[in-house]
Amino acid sequence: MTDIDETLDAAGLTNPHVREYVKHWAGVTGAERVEVVNASDDDRLIAEALEAGELLPAGEGRYYSRSYHKDTARAEERTIVATSDEADKGVYNNWRPAAEMTAKLTELMTGASAGKTMYVIPYLMAPKGSPLEKFAAGVELTDNRSVVLQMIRMARVGVDFINDLGDSFVRAVHVTGDLPNLGQGTPDDQRYFVTVADERTILHYGSSYGGNALLGKIAHGLRQGAYDGWKNGFLVEQFMLLGVVDKETGEKYHICGGFPSASGKTNLAMTLAPDALGDRYHVEFYGDDIAWLWVGDDGKLYGMNPENGVFGVAKDTNELTNPTAIDSIVPGTGAIFTNVAYNAKTQEVWWEGRGEKPADLDGWLDWKGEAVADRSPEEADDPWAHPNSRFTTTLDHVPNVAADYEEPAGVEIHGVIFGGRTRDREPLIRAINDVAEGVYDGLTLGAEATAAADGLEGVLRYDPMSMRPFMAYGEGDYAAHWLEVFSRTTTKPIFAHVNWFQRGEDGRFLWPGYRENLRPLVWLMQYKNGEVEGVETPVGVLPKREELLLEGLDEQALADLDTILTIDVERWKQEIGYREEHLNQFDRLPEEIWEAHRRVAAALDAAE
C-alpha cells in the first residue's frame, strides 16, 4: 500500500480524527491505495470511469451506469439500526446490539477491498454555517468509483468541510463486496446495511445501489440524522420542500411533507404553477427527498434540504409529469442514469413513461445489459428499464431551484403535509389545526408500496410520516419527539393531508394532479391566513368548492370536484379500526396521540 500519511498530507486532509479513521479502515479492508476526493476531481474520475467501462456516455456530458441485476433497490430486511441500548428498538428499525453488528461487519469487510482503491469522501449534508452543521459532516470510505461520482452530485464534497470539525463527523464505511456471490435474497444473504447510531458510525457491506451505497444520503441524511435529531432537539424526515411565491402580494410560503414511494413526492417538489395561475404564482424547488427541521430562537419552525442533488426515480418521468426534472437532466448537466434502457450505438437512454417506446430496436439494451432485439416473444413486454431506475443531478441544474436553497439559516416552514397513494377515503386535501392530530395523521399515513422497497408493488401498508424504512428509534419515542419539537414553536405551521390519487368506480383518477396540485396548496395557505374558512369534517377542514382557484381546470376535473371534496364516513369508521391496530404496535406512544385518535373516532361516530 502507498503511504497513507503522505497521501493525506498531499490532499490537505489535516483533521487528526479523520486521518486515524481512514488508516484504521484501510487496514481492515486491505485496500491497495487511498485517494481523497474533492468535488473538483469529478471530471478526472468521470474519465477514469469511462475508460474502465464503469460508466458509458449518454450524450453530451451525461452518463449511464448499471448496477448488479439483483442489487436495484433498498433491502429493508437487511437494513439495521444498532445501538448499545435495547430501549432504542422499534417495530421498523430492525434493532440489533451495536457490539454484535460492529464485529459482524468488521469480519465481512476484512480484506474485502484487496487490490482496490479506498476513496475518502469528506462531505457535508447541510449548507456551510448551518446551525446543524456539526451533525451534517461525514466521511464516506468506499471502494467503488461510481459511488464517489454519485456522492459528488448528492452532497457537498471536499476536505475543507471536515478539517476544522474535530471528532464531530459521521464515520461511514461502504464495501461493495463480491455481488454475485453474496447470496442476495437467500437464507445465506451476506449483505448488511448497518447504522450504529449511538456511535455515529455507518457500516454497509454488499451493494453498489444508490440507497445502500451513497451513505450520506439515506444512512446519514435520514437514519443517523434522525437519531441525532432525537438526542439534540431537531427533526430529520423523508420530506420534500418547496416554496410558493404569490407574485401579487409578495408573500412566500414554504411547505414540506412526507409521501411514501410512488406517491408523487418528487413530482410535487419539482412542480410548476399551472398555466392558468402562472401569472400570479411561482413555485421554487428546495428538495425532493429529505428535510431537517428545527425551532429557531424566534419560535418559528425552520427547514432545509441537506442534500446537494436529486436522486430521482426515472419511471414515468416526462415533460408532462415532471418537466422540471427533465430540464434538470438535459445534455451538459453531468447527470448519471442508472438501470434505465441504453442504446449502445446512439448513446440514448429511455425508460417506461418517458415517451413512445423506440420502434427501431437496433442497439437497445435493457437494464440488465441484454439486447432488446434478442428477446423471446414471451419476454417482449418485459420492462426495458428497471422500475426503480434513477437519475442523479445537482440542485443547481434544477431550473426553478430557489435562490436561497443554500441559505445556512434555512427557511421558515408554514405547512407540513402528508400524502399517500390512496384510491379511496382520502379527499383532495384536509387541513388539520391541532398539532397532536397532525402528528397522529402522519403516524397513520398509508400508501401502496413500490419497487423502491424491493418490489412490493400494490401492497397497502402504513408508513408513519413516510419514515417506515428509515426509522432510527422506537415509534412511540418518535411521536413524543415530534410533539416536543412542536411544543417549542410559538408560530406553528399548519398540518394537512393531500391525495392526488382518488379513483372513481371506473378506475379513473378523479384529479388531474401534477401542476394542478398547486391549487389545494394555495388554498391551504389561504386557510392558514384566515382568508377562507373551509368546511369542518370529523377528519379535518376541507375546501369549499368556491374557495379553490378553478380557472383553467378541464370539464372532467370540475365535474369530479364534489366527489373529492367530501369524505366517506363509513369508510373512515372502518379505517379507524385499522389505525388503532397499527398504533397498538408501538411502545410508549404518547397519550396525546391516543387522545387525538379518540377525538377523530368520536367525531366520526357522531357524524351522520
pLDDT, position 213: 96
Q: Quick one: pLDDT band at residue 608, thresholds 50, 70, 90?
A: low
Q: Quick one: pLDDT band at residue 340, thresholds 50, 70, 90?
A: very high
Q: Of 170, 258, 232, 274, nearest to 443 (Cα)?
A: 258
Residue 474 φ/ψ, nearest 5 degrees: -65, 145
Q: What is the pLDDT of residues 201-232, one digit of tens each?
A: 999 999 999 889 999 999 999 999 999 999 99
| 76-80, 236-240, 532-536: the lowest-pLDDT one | 76-80
- pLDDT beyond 80 at 523: yes
- pLDDT beyond 70 at 456: no
Strands 79-83 and 192-196: parallel
Which residues, at least 6 apart from 479, have a Cβ–Cβ distance to it below 8 Å? 439, 443, 586, 589, 590, 593
Cell reading at 227? 437519531
pLDDT higher at 59 or 349:
349
Residue with cell 422506537: 474
Q: How far apart are CA 224 and CA 195, in angstroms?
A: 7
Which residues, at least 6 apart from 291, have a Cβ–Cβ distance to it below 8 Å? 236, 237, 239, 240, 241, 256, 303, 304, 305, 306
Q: How far apart are CA 183 and CA 307, in angstroms?
A: 32
Give me the mean pLDDT over the 497-508 stretch: 93
Give me the mean pLDDT over the 82-97 stretch: 98
Give me the mean pLDDT over the 342-346 stretch: 96
Q: Quick one: pLDDT band at residue 562, thresholds 50, 70, 90?
A: very high
Residue 404 φ/ψ, nearest 5 degrees: -105, 25
pLDDT, position 76: 86
- pLDDT beyond 90 at 449: no
Helices then strands (H, E): number in the chain? 16, 31
Torsion sign across C-alpha atoms 138, 144, 145, 150: negative
**8 Å CB contact between 272 and 516:** no
pLDDT, position 261: 79
pTM (2 d.p.):
0.95
Q: What is the 3-state secondary structure (H, E, C) of 342-383?
A: EECCCCCEECCCCCCCCCCCCCEECCCCCEHHHCCHHHCCCC
- pLDDT beyond 60 at 460: no
pLDDT higher at 276 or 460:
276
Residue percentage of the chain with pLDDT more than 90 = 91
**8 Å CB contact between 490 and 299:** yes
Residue percentage of the chain with pLDDT more than 70 = 97
* Cα–Cα distances in angstroms (integers) from residue 459 to residues 428, 441, 456, 463, 597, in the given order: 22, 20, 6, 12, 24
pLDDT higher at 246 or 507:
246
- pLDDT beyond 60 at 451: no
Which residues, at least 6 apart from 146, have a Cβ–Cβ distance to it below 8 Å? 49, 54, 55, 65, 208
Q: Quick one: pLDDT band at residue 424, thresholds 50, 70, 90?
A: confident
Give me the mean pLDDT over the 436-455 stretch: 76
Q: What is the pLDDT of residues 365-400, one digit of tens each?
A: 999 999 999 999 999 899 999 999 999 999 999 999
CA angle 202, 204, 209 (to 5 degrees): 125
Question: What number of residues does the chain have?
Answer: 608
Kindly list the domain boundaries of the chain, sorted by start residue: 4-36+77-232, 237-305+405-606
Q: How far apart are CA 337 and CA 101, in angstroms?
A: 33
Q: How far apart are CA 80 and CA 67, in angstroms?
A: 22
Side-chain half-sphere CA neighbours of 317 within 13 A: 30
Task: Looking at the structure, give the CATH architecture of the domain made up of residues 4-36+77-232.
Answer: 3-Layer(aba) Sandwich (3.40)
- pLDDT beyond 60 at 167: yes
Q: Quick one: pLDDT band at residue 457, thresholds 50, 70, 90?
A: very low
Q: Quick one: pLDDT band at residue 448, thresholds 50, 70, 90?
A: low
| Class for the domain spanning 237-305+405-606 | alpha beta
Mean of the per-residue pLDDT values of the chain: 95
Q: What is the pLDDT of residues 40-87, one digit of tens each?
A: 999 999 999 999 999 999 988 999 999 999 999 888 899 999 999 999
**8 Å CB contact between 241 and 403:** no
Residue 362 has a CB neighbour count (10 Å cut-off) of: 12
Residue with cell 454497509: 204
Is residue 219 exposed (0-12), middle (13-18) or buried (19+ Cβ within 10 Å)? buried
pLDDT, position 66: 95
Q: Quick one: pLDDT band at residue 263, thresholds 50, 70, 90?
A: confident
Give me the mean pLDDT over the 432-440 stretch: 98
**8 Å CB contact between 589 and 477:** no
Q: Quick one: pLDDT band at residue 454, thresholds 50, 70, 90?
A: very low
Q: Quick one: pLDDT band at residue 421, thresholds 50, 70, 90?
A: confident
